[in-house]
Structure 1
Amino acid sequence: MELISVRINDFLHYVGVNDRDTHLFENLWPLENGVSYNSYLINAEKTALLDTVKITKVSDFTAKLRAALGDKNLDYLVIHHMEPDHSGAVSTIRELYPDVQIVGNKRTIQYLEEFYGITENILEVKDGETLDLGDRSLTFYTTPMVHWPESMVSYEPKSKILFSQDAFGGFGALDGTIFDDEINLDFYHSETRRYFSNIVGKFSKQVQSALKKLAGLEISMVCPVHGPIWRSHPEKIIELYDKWSRYEVEEGVIIVYGSMYGNTQRMAEVIARELAVQGISNIKVFDVSKTHESYILSEIWRYKGLILGSCTYNNYMFPLMTKLVNILDMNKIENHVLGVFGSYSWSGGAVKALKEFGEKGKYDMIPEVVEAKCAACDEDIIGLRNIARTMAHKLKEDRLTELTDLLDN
């Protein structure tokens, strides 16, 4: 059966593919709902393929590309980002179209040789340079560390389309729907935030730099390499990335615990209940042994309050809590209030490690810490409730500040 590309407009085709087979993105992050690898063909006086796909999906990809090209030859292959889920089919494209010229920046050219041994028929472009395609053109803007050193975007000025590589992308296969006006945005909002927090969030400062760099462009459509094409409301995805990369959060608390026999879990339940009593409605409690850190990280990115609890395991944190804390440390999250608690049997260590993590990070730490021996006693329960009360007080202070700012404006 012939696979047909999707015509976006009179010169642009979508030739991307869905991946519902891979369990873990980057062999780390769950893909319960799959992921798309988006590629685009500009069919102007000159033809240009914008990025490829993961090599495991090359057959469907090349079938769509042939259908979109028809009898034409492929003049250019533009590589915005060298990560193999987008550059994996580069060698295949060169075999199919031996005369194709590969377009990339200096770092791209370096990676081309190091990944694929490609050194010939390459056109280097610099920041701000334009590739002439006849009746269309592409202007390139480097966006280093969003989220690799060679990352760049391109802009077609006549149609005002931004080809944004991994920026403005999201998890989730495109289930028949390709454009933002065709999809359930509630579903993609969650998967897009999870993608941002898992993949791009560590580079939030670089995202802000890229947004400032592109601020002068009039953008009518955003074409990322993952997730839907934003043709009706491109400003929505740009606003979300701006919000998340500024660490803008909502009122609410994420409680994450690691517990072997239930004692630390019971401590988490005490805190959660007291938060509700204190008027906090957005409360989510996660067992780090059950919920993958991908989803926990996404929720932490959303809400201001974070409370971590761990039993002691071999004089340190519970191993899966250690994994989560390492991921949080790597992401350098800002604008959060942090509380910690835990338990031990014969020798502590977990609470000390959680405190050290919080103190070296950019967290507003709640002073009171509870470390129960074996099971929480009455005094520990009072301390846990105090953690919740302090958290609620800090969140309500923010609520009042926001209300005051709104009234002043």
Structure 2
Amino acid sequence: MSLNIKNNVYWVGKIDWELRKFHGGEYSTHRGTTYNSYLIKEDKIALFDTVWAPFSKEFVSNLAKEIDLSKIDFIIASHAEIDHSGALPELMRHIPNTPIYCTKNGVKSLQGHYHQDWNFNVVKTGDRLSLGQKELVFIEAPMLHWPDSMFCYLTEDNILFSNDAFGQHYASEYMFNDLVDQSELFSEGIKYYANILTPYSPMVIKKIKEILGFNLPLDIICTSHGVIWRNKPEQIVERYLDWADNYQENQISIIYDTMWNGTRVMAEKIAKGIKEGDKEVNVKLFNLDKRDKNDVITEVFKSKAIMVGSPTINRGILVSVAGILEEIKGLKFKNKKAAAFGCYGWSGESVKIINAILKESGFNIVDEGLRVMWNPDNESMASCIEYGRQFALNVPL
């Protein structure tokens, strides 16, 4: 199946309705995803990227119905990650000498994945490739989100092929941003940014400003996952500039796990205190044993402050808490405050451990945290409420 995007530009990718985990098991995809490949049929014919390896034969078979494979003049490899390049080995079996245009790091990545010495052509920002009446203009985008990533702009049609930027893991037959459910679209968009692009926010701002500085007309953004932005594509660019600028809402997220409900009781009483201290703030609680970690990380991204709770176990913290803290550390959130809490029976190290990790992760630690011995009694619950009230006063938006 192909879909006409504009004039001689066609989508020839794959909609994956069944995908529920991505990057191994690191990223949840509740709404599936798409692997977007594009075919440009001008005087010269160019193919942008392929699809994930499990769909290689299907992709090449469908592509052959769209065009004689031997007539493809150029392959543009915007990014070597397997979800975009996975069908490349199968395609190159049919057209082994077709030139592949990619960045210098793209060559390294593709060779590292597939151990093939294909006909690589290295490009850098500002290089152009003629398709006849129109040209492709290459724009390197290192660390958005791999060293090899690049954008490409098609003149006359004013289309930006943005690879992993501006995308979402979102399966839809509609394929265009103006046709899908807007709440679903932006929910998946912010989740995608929070979990994948947050560490590279300074580079996101720099690259967007660089592209805007070219003063190129922009009618469509063709992403590599999810919908194609044809209606006011600047809206997702503006969202990215907001998200990249130490984004936060008037929200405090309490994330925790519990053994015998003591830490859960603490979390709920702290939340009650926060609302007493600030009636306007949005307080959300997440039991990490029962919630999807990528959804929780999205809420952390949106929050001005977080509170992290775990009981002490074997002089450590619960695995679910340790796991999400490890991911949070890698995401390098900025300008957010944090505190720790938890129950203990005899040694009580959990709060100290959590605070240390949060500090290492770049959070501003509000205080030493709150510990409660054994299950909270009425006095301890009152102290949790007061602790939440004081926390709210310490983290104004």
Q: TM-score, normalised by structure 1?
A: 0.92
Q: 1:158 deviation in Å?
A: 1.5
- CA change 1:349–1:78 in 2 (3 A) is same
Which one of the candidate residues 150, 164, 179 is aligned to 2:176? 179
Q: 1:293 deviation in Å?
A: 1.2
Q: Is the 8 A contact 2:330 2:361 kept in 1?
A: no
Q: 1:368 deviation in Å?
A: 5.3
Q: Which amino acid aligns with 1:180?
A: N
1:107 — aligned with what?
Answer: 105
Which one of the candidate residues 203, 208, 225 is aligned to 2:205? 208
1:347 — aligned with what?
Answer: 347
Q: 1:70 deviation in Å?
A: 5.6
Q: 1:80 deviation in Å?
A: 0.5
- Distance in 2, matches of 1:199 and 1:236, equals 20
2:34 — aligned with what?
Answer: 36
- Distance in 2, matches of 1:335 and 1:379, equals 33
Q: Which amino acid aligns with 1:296?
A: V
Q: 1:21 deviation in Å?
A: 3.0
- Distance in 2, matches of 1:182 and 1:65, equals 25
Q: Which amino acid aligns with 1:84?
A: I
1:237 — aligned with what?
Answer: 236
- CA change 1:111–1:364 in 2 (3 A) is closer
What is the aligned length?
A: 393
Of stretches 382-391 and 226-235 in structure 1, the one that deviates more from structure 2 is 382-391
Q: Is the 8 A contact 2:80 2:106 kept in 1?
A: yes
Of stretches 363-372 and 13-22 in structure 1, the one that deviates more from structure 2 is 363-372
Which one of the candidate residues 139, 146, 163 is aligned to 1:148? 146
Q: Is the 8 A contact 2:39 2:48 kept in 1?
A: yes
1:388 aligns with 2:388: yes
Q: Which amino acid aligns with 1:195?
A: Y
Q: Is the 8 A contact 1:339 1:387 kept in 2?
A: no
- CA change 1:55–1:358 in 2 (3 A) is closer
Q: 1:379 deviation in Å?
A: 4.7
1:318 aligns with 2:318: yes
Q: Is the 8 A contact 1:13 1:68 kept in 2?
A: no
Q: Which amino acid aligns with 1:387?
A: Y
Alignment of 1:257-336 (within 5 A): 257-278=256-277, 279-336=279-336
Across the aligned residues of Structure 1 and Structure 2, the Cα RMSD in angstroms comes to 1.7
SS at match of 1:7: strand
Q: Which amino acid aligns with 2:11?
A: Y
1:8 — aligned with what?
Answer: 5
2:218 — aligned with what?
Answer: 219
Q: Is the 8 A contact 1:369 1:383 kept in 2?
A: no
Structure 1: 5+ residue stretches without partners? 399-409
Deviations along 1:304-323, whole A, 9 cap, x unmatched?
A: 12111111111011111000
Q: Which amino acid aligns with 2:211?
A: L
- CA change 1:71–1:268 in 2 (3 A) is closer
Of stretches 385-394 and 146-155 in structure 1, the one that deviates more from structure 2 is 385-394
Alignment of 1:29-108 (within 5 A): 29-69=27-67, 73-108=71-106
Q: 1:301 deviation in Å?
A: 0.7
Deviations along 1:194-236, whole A, 9 cap, x unmatched?
A: 1111222222222222212212233221111001000112111
Q: TM-score, normalised by structure 2?
A: 0.94
Percent of counterpart pairs with the same letter? 30
1:366 aligns with 2:366: yes
- Distance in 2, matches of 1:352 and 1:257, equals 15
Q: 1:23 deviation in Å?
A: 3.0
2:132 — aligned with what?
Answer: 134
Q: 1:67 deviation in Å?
A: 3.5
1:256 — aligned with what?
Answer: 255
